[in-house]
Every structure is written in C-alpha cells, then in structure tokens.
Structure 1
C-alpha cells in the first residue's frame, strides 16, 4: 500500500512535510507504525523533523540513533523502547506538562503541529473513522495540525464518545493492517496484593475511581470485587475493569458526572479489552482536556484517584517522573486527578507505592528527595499514601505528624533511620523516641473493617502519629468517663503524655483503636490496650470508649481481639481492674470469661482470664 489522498491519488510525503517541521505521533496503543515506516522509507531529502508525542507502546523506531538526522524527538511523557534511552543520551528532549494542558500547547501554537500522524478505524457508512483505543491528546492534535495523515487499520476498534474523525478531516492515508500491542494482566506478588487491599479500603461503595496499569492497579481492582455501584472516570482503563463491569460492581449508577458511563481517554491491555470496548455503548472515550480537567473530575462525588510514585519524602512530596537526575516517565495525569479528587465532594487522592525498591535495599519513603529528583505532586496536594505496611493519612497533618505517619508505613528496617534523619531537622521532639511498630498477629493487613449499628469503623494499631487524635479523644470524655478509666478526675493530657501512650512498642505491649473517618479526617472512637508484665508473663487490660459509641459492641470486639493476640504471644494470663460501679465494663469482661478475684481496693474489682493455646 502507498500513501494516497482522499480520492485515492498517490501522494508523497514532500507534499505535506518539509525539513524542520514538527509532527505529532499517535499515542499509547495507537502508534501508526506502518505510517511512520513509510515516512522513513520515503523521507527523500527531509531532515530534522521534530516528533512530539506522549507514551507510545511501540518499537519507537524514530528514536533510534540511526534516524537522528531525520527525527528530533520531543517526548511529553517518556516511556517505551528507545525513547527513554534517547532522552538519557541527549538525543531526545523531555518536555514536562500536565496531560490536561498538552492540548493548549497545540491549540495556542506553543508547539504548532505541521502534521498529525494517527491511527484510525476504517470509516463507517457515514464517513466517520474512530480514534479507537487512544483519543487522549490525539483528538487535539487532529484539530490543531495543518495536515492529518492517518493509518487506516481494520484491527482498530470503533469506540464511542468523542472519538470520531470524518474522512474530510484527513488529508492523506495509508491503509495497512496492524495488530495492536498487548499488555497482559500482571502476576501479583504479595507486596502488590497488600497495597491493593489497603487502597481498596479507601474506596467506598458508590465511589468513582481513576486508576492506571500495572501490578498495584491490578491488585486494587481485584480487591474491589465485593464493592457496589462503582463508577469509572479515568485517564485509562485496562483488562481489570472488564470482569467488574460484567459483574455489576462497576455500573456507574451513582456517578454525578457522565452518569451511567465508564469514561476514559485511552485503554491499553490485551485483545480481550480491545474487543470489549469495540462499539461498547457503556464505555465512552473523550479527549484529555475533558477527562483530565480537574474541574470535570471534581464533578464526580466521592472521586478516588489512585496513582503511583518513585519516592515520597517525609513531608509528603511525591517524585514520580525521575530517578535522581534520570528522567523516567512524565507528569502525565497524576496532578490533574489528584487535584480533581481533592476538589470532589468526598474525594480521596491516593499515592500507592511499595515501601522499597525491588531488591529491598532502598526505602522509597525517604527523609529527603534524592538529588536531582523532581517533585510532581506537592506536599500540599497529597492526602493518602499507601504501602504494603498501611495507609498514611496526611490530611491536615503538620510536618512532624506527616513524618510519623509516613515512617509508620515505611519498611520496618528503615524506620529507625528515618526517625533519626528527620530529627536532624527538629521536626520530631526529643520525647518522641519510639519508631512505629506493627502488630503482626493482626495479619498482613493491619486495618480491619467493622460495622456497628450500620456505621463503618476501622480497627487498627495506635501509632506515634495519633498523638493529637488521642488528645482530642481524651478531651471528649466526660468527668464520669475519666473517673471510670483513671480512677480519678484527670484534667490534662499533655503532648508528652499523649505521645507516650501512642508510641507503643507493639511487639511487647499492645494498643488498638477503633476509628471512624470521612474523606478529610479520622477520629478515635475507642481504645483498648494491654501492658505486658514480664515477671509473670501476663498483661493488664484497659479500655475506654467514646460516650456516643457505647453499647455497640466495640469493647467486646476489642477485648476478643486482645485475647486472641495474647494467646498467639503465649501469655499466661490477662488481668484487669475495673471500678465496682462500672457495671457495663464488668459485664464485657465477664462475658469474655474473666473471673472476679480478690482486690485490695474495695472500689475496684480484680478480674483475670487464664489463657490456653487454641
């Protein structure tokens, strides 16, 4: 096949291009490889053609050293074979830009396009071709370029939405079949599985989500299988959404923008996905300036944005486009969706990453950004950070609190050094000397969800970053509650005291809490703990429940969990001292099998439970 105009007349590339022009190359899974090869084969006397593109799943032959006289590469998002190497070698440029703003570069002639090389489906009976699996910034390139040159590919799906280009918008074309690149669903490892479980806990029924591709997104989607009425407003989708749409988990019913539709700008996956989106009325493709607009994203209530990172420092700064001085990817749509989720009613911006590099030798939660690393998402934009060790909530947190939250979800072998490093900058006071520890007996996922009288709660370990929350919990108590818990009317919970109570060595003692959160905060509703007595291999148990949450079963649930953990730790006995007039708490202990014993204090009842392995 040769390049022809709309009338079928053979044309030459010199009819549309001259040396020094700038061309756009189609994105993601829609790279017109045959068209590019035809340009290379018939380039004649053309030189120094600037290529502009985002991520391209292709051999990217234009970025090979042998074509450096013909092409000058300018990547707006680095990735794929040859491009990253070309940028690193200085043969190619990287221009950072939000995906939502790339159309402006074309439209305002900041990066004027002489031609757009794209891939489309064959025209329908009305003369419309579809941009198929990649509408993203391709749509804006089509509108802005002087010439549109297309590869008509019968393997390109015809997708719905704003994905159509009429044949009268195309100046020349090459009819050439090309298989779309396939990226199979990744095999999940234990780290990705745990991150997926934690991230899924942040997604409530009825939420609208944005998610990418890779192990962590695949794991998140796996653990959304039992959610209800989810929606999709995402830059991209992959195979993971297919089964969720078939099962009705993703039905878009409760969306508040594009209700009833899964909306995206591109997709990448296997042939199963490409077949799924072909003429699918329930999936619509829109340009990046529409999908990635933070204003439009925010029109979705309960928008949850889940993005990845290379590293996060202890103030919350996110590096995601470079490894030190080496540019690795790009800004992409991360900031667009994080900002949109922040502005959404009930929205949650989430950064998810493993706690270490693949070899486990380097922490990805860092005291300071690696030299040369670039901040893509500022500390002001970050809300939640997730690793395989939990969820750090940074909303409204001071630098000191952020550091403690992030240290808690760092890999345990790096926590002590991170605390030492952060102390050099006086973010952590001297009395705060314990690094966060885990409660392995809770399992790999240390957050447990419970429902009491229809309301959701989370059971988790207390941690050093809970200092202020525990203070607030203390000052919420009535005088009667304080007397019941402390046997006197305690009037103050200093920072030092609160810090001591939350900075627990969870491998020795134990401190659990029930919390309740909305999209902007977390409130402690109950605390249960035990203090280990080494001399007798036993522990003393204590509880306090917020007054408004009593009679729901929290104390019983906490006590049963504490008993379970104590048994696993081979403790011989649990003891408790409860005021004689605290009938509800006495009942909780006795229902759990505690037996009353002798007490030196007439106002108190001593109880004990002998533990046996189960």
Structure 2
C-alpha cells in the first residue's frame, strides 16, 4: 500500500499557496483540469497567482477574464483561445524560450516554482506514478517546485522511459478520472498533399525524424509508407507515426542514438495514440532537456527535422511565433531541432509551409518580415524551405541565390512583385530579368526521382537560382564535351551568360536537369532543353550529360520527358542538330523515334520527331525511369 492509495477529492490549498506565488500547470494532453477547478473553488483570499505552462489542451479556465484577479497567465508556448486572448488583451504574458532551456529556468530560479500541478497515473506496487503522455517540462517542474500536487487519473497511460514520479515526491493529491483530449487527424487539401510529397522526397531510408502535429506533418507521414527503417527522435508523435510503426516502416533499427527505441517527450492524438503508448516498451518518454538538446539530437545520423512557419523572408529568416505584433504560438522546439539536424551527419532541417494564407491573398514568402514579427529561426540556421511549389535549398547560398530560390517556391502570382522588391536592395542584379516559372506538365510536384546505377537523382526544372550550379556544371566539362555541345571550344561561362541560360520562360521554352544531393549540397549532373520555334510550332532540343554518367540512360529519360511535355503542349514536332561524329547522341535520338533529315552542313545531322505520329520512345525507356515519383 502507498500513501496515494487513500482517496481524496479536495486539497488544502492554504497549506501550499499564498498570494503572489507562481504555479506550474501540466502540459499538452495532461492538463490537470480537476485540480484547477478545485483551486478556483477554494481560492478565497488568494490573488495574483502566476500560472506558467506550455501548450495546454483544455478550456484554460484560469485564463478567462473572470479570473484575472486570481491568476496571471505566463505562457511559454501560446495555444488555445483563452490563452491567446489573454495575451492579446494584456491580461497575460508570453515568455519566449527554447524548450530545451525551460528546465534551467525552473531549476536555476529564473522562473522559480512554488507549486507544480500535474496529472499522473495511479502508483504501481513500487510507489511510482507515471507522467504518462506528457513528460516534457513537467519532469523538471516536479524537481524544481517546492510542492507537487497531483491529479490521480486512472485513464492516464503508464509510459516507459524517464516518466516516473515516486509518491514521496507528491505532497498532496485528488483522485479524479479525466478523459484525455483527443486531436483527430486533419483532412488534407491538395497543396498540403504536395508539400507532404516534397518533404518525403528529402527523406532517405534509415533517417530519424522529428515531426509535429497538424496537416503538413500528417501529409508527410502519408507519403512515407514505402520507406524503410525510419526512426523517431521527436518532441512528440501523433496518429500518423503510430500507423507507420504498426506497418514496420518506423522500426528504429538504423538509429545511431537510442537505437531500437522511438524517443519523445509527449504525444497528442486520438485515443489510438494513448492506447498505443500505454506500457509500450518500444516508445520511451524523456524530459525536454534530453530530447531537445541539440547535441543529443545530432547524435542521430540522417536526422530530419520538419517544422512549420508563419512566414519566411527572402533571406531565409523564419517567423513562427507571431503574426505581426500578435503573438500566436511560441519558439517551442523548432530551433533545438533545426540546430540538432544541422549538426547531424547527413541531417536536414526542413521548414514547410503553404505559399499563401488560406484565402490566397497574402504571400507567406515575403520580401521583408511583417512589422512586429519576430525571427524564431535565423537565416543562418535554415537549410530547406518547402511550399506546394517546390523545395528551396538555402544551405551555403548567397542572399541573391536564396532570394531566387525562395521566389521560385512562392505562389506564381506574387513572384514578379517579390523579384521587384529585392531589386530595390541590389540583392538581384539587373540582368536577372524574370521571376521563376513552373512546368506543371512535369507532374503535381514538378520533381521526379530516378535511380541510375544504384544512385538516386532528381529530375526537375532548371531555375534562376541554379546560376552558380550551371557555371560549376559548365566548368566540369572536358574540351570534347564543349565542342560537341557548342561546336567550338568555349572557355568561359560568365554570370550573365549562366543567368540567361537558367532564366527560362518555362511556359514556352523548356529546360530540365538531373541533380544529385549529398553532404556537399546539390549539383547538376545533366541538362536538357528545347527552344520553342513559333513559326513551325516546334522545339529545338539540346543536351549536356556529365561525362562520367553517360551511357546510363539519363539522356533517353530526359528526352522522353521532353517529348511527353511537348505533346501536352501540342507542338507539331521536335528537331535537333547533332555533330555527325557524336554517335552516342545520334543513337539516343534515333532510338526515341527521331528521323534523319537532309542537312546543308556535312558535319551535322538534322533530326526530326513528328509528334502527331506514334513514337517508339516508350519502348526504349531505361528500367530506372519506372522509379519516378509523381
């Protein structure tokens, strides 16, 4: 028998609290609402009690206007109607902080706690209660507070890890059962689906994930069903993670830290989530100072952090906790995991957001941060930003390159204005004449994944931000390649020339490339394009393939994609001029259905493919082209 076996339905608050004290309220899905109600009912003589907490999934009755003399809200992460309104109206405060730092605020007396109000499971035979679905900063509050008062809830799951509190750490309690709040997985719209697909393309087999709750994280999880050996090191998990664990996609086998275990600080979701974590030895809950430590996060190789934002400016600054002067959420664990993933071997920190507000009237990719908005993740921390229009890779990019990358993934109706705005500050030179355009015929997400000789490559449109990549690609060619492509030994590719080649109006002309991503970044491996000739409704085709990758099917695959797009655009034909001594390229065209035409130049062969006639291109695609993701 333990001391908590005695049933209680009331707390003698005068024994633990006095006016002006600071109390902690349990987090997320573990808010001890019955304790709060009991305190309010027995609050006579108490005033100005400061409440400190993170996100609290409840009615947040302590933040209602009628309790403003009893409680003063101090939220470390804003969530819920009453909390947000209290802060907006000046009745409450928001304290910005990294979640990994909150335990220090409690334990080192920056925010000393008088009383911690928590919810726990009933004690086991050894006298240990479990903090259940929310260990996070509750664990440090228990250690730091002078008094700990608990709501014993038989519906609270017993979770494994560092989630236990002994009865001798609890000074008083009440026994009240309470259903845990459920957050049902959201419905997806098309743009959320596309964001999910783009994020999934950056996740390799064997990666370890940090993922949150909401439409975008759930959409990402939906597109990971064919991945293998994924792991979890995350602040939280929800329904989508459970589904992938049940399928064996998430098995934690290839993790390099906490191998074999999914480690988290809390969970939120439907009842299915709470049932799944109850007694599950494969999921362990740890305090925030452990899970959110960037140093510990970085111990996971191939760590992928996926976070969202309210807006991102064209230098890469991320606003996540405020809409102008209105504080909306909090810093949370975003910076902890962005930094941890950046330090991880093979890691990728990702910021994912829709390109516009819900009504489509405001761009969330902005030339400058909205007045009053605050930077949560600095431009120096950002590596990838994703919208429904693509992936912007910012790591190692100059301000000019970042601006062009981010304009490319902005909504098309805002791109020209964004380009005009950055010109005012000379971030983009005058020879950069046009904003990026898209190739919707390439598929919903305008990217496809191919595998050649067991190496993964991405096929995508060439974009203005590729100016430097195209220069590097050009200077990687040998003399023979330059002669074959340009008909003479060209020795320089200026910025202006490179800019002109990547500034393509993709609605009329077409320029595609194969790229490869590795720890050094993204590099162009092949380029294919056609130039539209309006007078004959045709496109003139040209290719350059990296010397070491020839003969693997890249040219044939690129040509097949261009033929397919040209047919959709109702071109009558494609034409090409190839040096007579370029036997391998002639073979590529002829295998794809091109027919030799009379030519006035003996050194060149003219070829033509009539697009309104059957083509044999589908018969000649390399096997690897079946691996596209569309």
**SS of equivalent residue, structure 1 residue 567:** helix
Deviation at 1:519, TM superposition (A): 4.0
TM-score norm. by structure 2 comes to: 0.96
Say if 1:6 and 1:173, in contact at 8 Å, map to a contact too: no
Aligned residues: 611
- Inter-partner Cα distance in structure 2 for 1:261 and 1:277: 12
- Inter-partner Cα distance in structure 2 for 1:174 and 1:565: 68
User: Structure 1 residue 382 and structure 2 residue 386: aligned?
Assistant: no
- Inter-partner Cα distance in structure 2 for 1:429 and 1:441: 30
Say if 2:11 and 2:174, in contact at 8 Å, map to a contact too: no
- Inter-partner Cα distance in structure 1 for 2:343 and 2:97: 21
Matches within 5 A, 1:358-397: 358-397=358-397
- Inter-partner Cα distance in structure 2 for 1:181 and 1:446: 39
TM-score norm. by structure 1 comes to: 0.99
Partner of 1:285: 285
User: Structure 1 residue 180 and structure 2 residue 189: aligned?
Assistant: no
Say if 2:11 and 2:38, in contact at 8 Å, map to a contact too: no
Partner of 1:423: 423
Deviations 1:389-444 (A, max 9, x none): 00000011000000000000000000000000010000010010111000010111
Partner of 2:497: 497
**SS of equivalent residue, structure 1 residue 376:** strand
Deviations 1:457-516 (A, max 9, x none): 000000000000000000000000000001110111010110000000000000000000
- Inter-partner Cα distance in structure 2 for 1:395 and 1:72: 42
Partner of 2:411: 411
User: Structure 1 residue 605 and structure 2 residue 572: aligned?
Assistant: no
Say if 1:439 and 1:446, in contact at 8 Å, map to a contact too: yes
Deviation at 1:352, TM superposition (A): 0.1
- Inter-partner Cα distance in structure 2 for 1:57 and 1:109: 26
Say if 1:570 and 1:613, in contact at 8 Å, map to a contact too: no
Partner of 2:543: 543
Deviation at 1:59, TM superposition (A): 0.3
Deviation at 1:7, TM superposition (A): 6.2
**SS of equivalent residue, structure 1 residue 125:** coil
- Inter-partner Cα distance in structure 2 for 1:563 and 1:11: 76
- Inter-partner Cα distance in structure 2 for 1:8 and 1:248: 42
**SS of equivalent residue, structure 2 residue 470:** helix
- Inter-partner Cα distance in structure 2 for 1:11 and 1:605: 92
User: Structure 1 residue 485 and structure 2 residue 485: aligned?
Assistant: yes
Deviations 1:338-368 (A, max 9, x none): 0000000000000000000000000000000
Partner of 1:48: 48
Say if 2:320 and 2:331, in contact at 8 Å, map to a contact too: yes
Say if 2:7 and 2:175, in contact at 8 Å, map to a contact too: no
Say if 2:35 and 2:117, in contact at 8 Å, map to a contact too: yes
Partner of 1:347: 347
- Inter-partner Cα distance in structure 1 for 2:20 and 2:327: 26
- Inter-partner Cα distance in structure 2 for 1:81 and 1:347: 36
Partner of 1:219: 219
- Inter-partner Cα distance in structure 2 for 1:367 and 1:613: 48
Deviation at 1:81, TM superposition (A): 2.6
Partner of 2:270: 270
- Inter-partner Cα distance in structure 2 for 1:93 and 1:544: 59
- Inter-partner Cα distance in structure 1 for 2:556 and 2:130: 60
Partner of 1:510: 510
- Inter-partner Cα distance in structure 1 for 2:66 and 2:356: 38
Partner of 2:308: 308
Deviation at 1:11, TM superposition (A): 4.9
Extract structure 1 runs of 4+ deviating beyond 2 A: 4-11
Once superposed, what is the RMSD of the aligned Cα atoms? 1.1
Partner of 1:466: 466
Say if 1:6 and 1:171, in contact at 8 Å, map to a contact too: no
Say if 2:221 and 2:241, in contact at 8 Å, map to a contact too: yes
Deviations 1:517-538 (A, max 9, x none): 1144100000000000000000
Deviations 1:231-289 (A, max 9, x none): 00000100011110011100000000000000000000010100000000001000000
- Inter-partner Cα distance in structure 1 for 2:144 and 2:114: 9
- Inter-partner Cα distance in structure 1 for 2:407 and 2:612: 35
Deviation at 1:44, TM superposition (A): 1.9
- Inter-partner Cα distance in structure 2 for 1:576 and 1:11: 85
Matches within 5 A, 1:164-243: 164-243=164-243
Say if 2:230 and 2:254, in contact at 8 Å, map to a contact too: yes
Deviation at 1:125, TM superposition (A): 1.1
Partner of 1:34: 34
**SS of equivalent residue, structure 2 residue 362:** coil
Deviation at 1:600, TM superposition (A): 1.2
Say if 1:152 and 1:173, in contact at 8 Å, map to a contact too: yes
Say if 1:186 and 1:214, in contact at 8 Å, map to a contact too: yes
Say if 1:16 and 1:147, in contact at 8 Å, map to a contact too: yes
Deviation at 1:599, TM superposition (A): 1.1
- Inter-partner Cα distance in structure 2 for 1:451 and 1:598: 37
